[in-house]
Amino acid sequence: MILVENLHKSFGEAHILKGISTCFDQGKTNLIIGQSGSGKTVFLKSLLGLFQPEEGKICYNDRIYSQLTDDEKRDLRKEMGMVFQGSALFDSMTIEQNVMFPLKMFTDMSKEEMEERVDIVLKRVNLPDAHKKFPSEASGGMQKRVAIARAIVNNPKYLFCDEPNSGLDPKTAILIDNLIQEITKEYDITTVINTHDMNSVMEIGEKIVFLKDGHKAWEGSNKEIFKTDNEAVTNFVYSSELFKKVRVMYQEEDRN
């Protein structure tokens, strides 16, 4: 579980996060949604400690992030996995070496054990035979899946994904979403996902936090998001004709 209280983050004059409080549960896919530029990436990076928030409290279960020493922070980060918006694979390493990297760095596994573990996770993300390729030789969807494999290889307790399905076709996007959800359930991980894709919201939005202008404008589940009257949310959700129809459908469902 991750608890966030009154989080503030500015860059110089620009106040990006203006006091956000929320809670992300274990074993659930938690979604952060909002328009491009609403501060989703800044929020996620502040959770991870890549940005230092000026104010606010972040608790990882019973550990309060700001009260940890540098070494304790590094130990906590070994329990985290992160899928970056642009995958952020190490381009000097093969796919296999990328996925093996956290194991090599932080475990005492033998080479055989590491190879076995890499095989398991690469199969898990449906890349059974891409080991020797370099990231530049892989498609965007493959890179995303390698990034997921690298993030989960060392059994993280917390998984963060920054727009894991942006730039992918709808079918691959749904596959990636479902994959993340399955992994979350399978290993009982606390997962936080940034997205502005309404399909993801419908598919895996167990808990949704809606950001607007640096504030939390709304939170709830994917069942609730189509019923809320919150204007900011409806403006975002019903910007597409398709979801206007979805709303009508839900409303009719409710009447019956």
Partner 1 sequence: MALFYYMNYLENIGRYFLMIGEVFRKPTKWSIMKDLILKEIDDLIFNSLGIVVFISFFVGGVIAIQTALNIDNPLIPKYLVGFATRQSIILEFAPTFTSIIMAGKVGSYITSSIGTMRVTEQIDALEVMGVNSINYLVFPKIIALLIYPFLISIGMFFGILGGWVAGVFGGYSTSAEFIQGLQSDFDMYHVFYAFTKTFVFAFILATIPSFHGYFMRGGALEVGKASTTSFVWTSIVIIILNYILTQMLLG
Ligand X SMILES: Nc1ncnc2c1ncn2[C@@H]1O[C@H](COP(=O)(O)OP(=O)(O)OP(=O)(O)O)[C@@H](O)[C@H]1O
Q: Which one of ligand X, partner 1, Mg ion, none is in contact with 133 (Cβ closer than 5 to 8 A by kind)?
A: none
* CB of 3 closer than 8 Å to CB of 58: yes
Taking Cα atoms as reference points, which of 89, 63, 88 lies closest to residue 76? 63
**Looking only at residues 30 through 59 of this chain, which bind Mg ion when binding is defined by CB under 5 A?**
41
Contacted by 82, from Mg ion, ligand X, partner 1, none: CB < 5 to 8 Å by type: partner 1
Q: What's the DSSP call for residue 137?
A: G
Question: Could you say whether residue 84 binds partner 1 (CB under 8 A)?
Answer: yes
Contact 130, 124 (CB under 8 A): no
Q: In the bound complex, what is the minimum distance in angstroms from residue 161's beta carbon to ligand X?
A: 12
Task: Look at the block and give the residue holding tokens 């400690």.
Answer: 49
Amino acid in the structure at residue 199: N
- CA dist., res. 79 & res. 251, Å (int): 42
Residue placing its CB nearer to ligand X in the complex, 37 or 170:
37
Q: Which is nearer to partner 1, 55 or 75 (CB)?
A: 75
Per the CB < 8 A criterion, the answer to whether 41 and 85 are in contact is yes
Closest residue to Mg ion, judged by C-beta, is 41
Instruction: Report the residue from 2, 4, 16, 176 that binds ligand X according to the rule CB under 6 A.
Output: 16
User: Which does residue 18 touch among Mg ion, ligand X, partner 1, none (CB within 5 to 8 A, set by kind)?
Assistant: none
Decide if residue 11 touches ligand X (CB under 6 A): yes
Only one of the segments 38-46, 66-74, 100-108, 233-241 lies at the binding site for ligand X (rule: CB under 6 A); that segment is: 38-46
Q: How many beta carbons lie within 10 A of that of residue 21, not counting itself? A: 14
Going by the DSSP 8-state scheme, the letter that residue 135 receives in this structure is G
Cα dihedral: 60, 63, 69, 71 (round 10): -60
Of 84-92, 122-130, 228-236, 238-246: span binding partner 1 (CB under 8 A) = 84-92
Question: Which of 36, 52, 67, 105 is close enough to bind partner 1 by CB under 8 A?
Answer: 105
Token output for 154: 């060392």
Task: Closer to partner 1 by CB, 85 or 228: give it.
Answer: 85
Residue the block writes with tokens 């009447």: 255
- Count of residues interacting with Mg ion (CB under 5 A): 1
Task: Report if residue 50 touches partner 1, rule: CB under 8 A.
Answer: yes
Spatial CB neighbours of 16, under 8 Å, sequence gap ≥ 6:
9, 10, 39, 42, 214
Which CB, 17 or 152, lies closer to ligand X?
A: 17
Question: Can you give the binding site for ligand X, defined by CB under 6 A?
Answer: 11, 14, 16, 34, 36-42, 196
Where do contacts with Mg ion occur on this chain (CB under 5 A)?
41
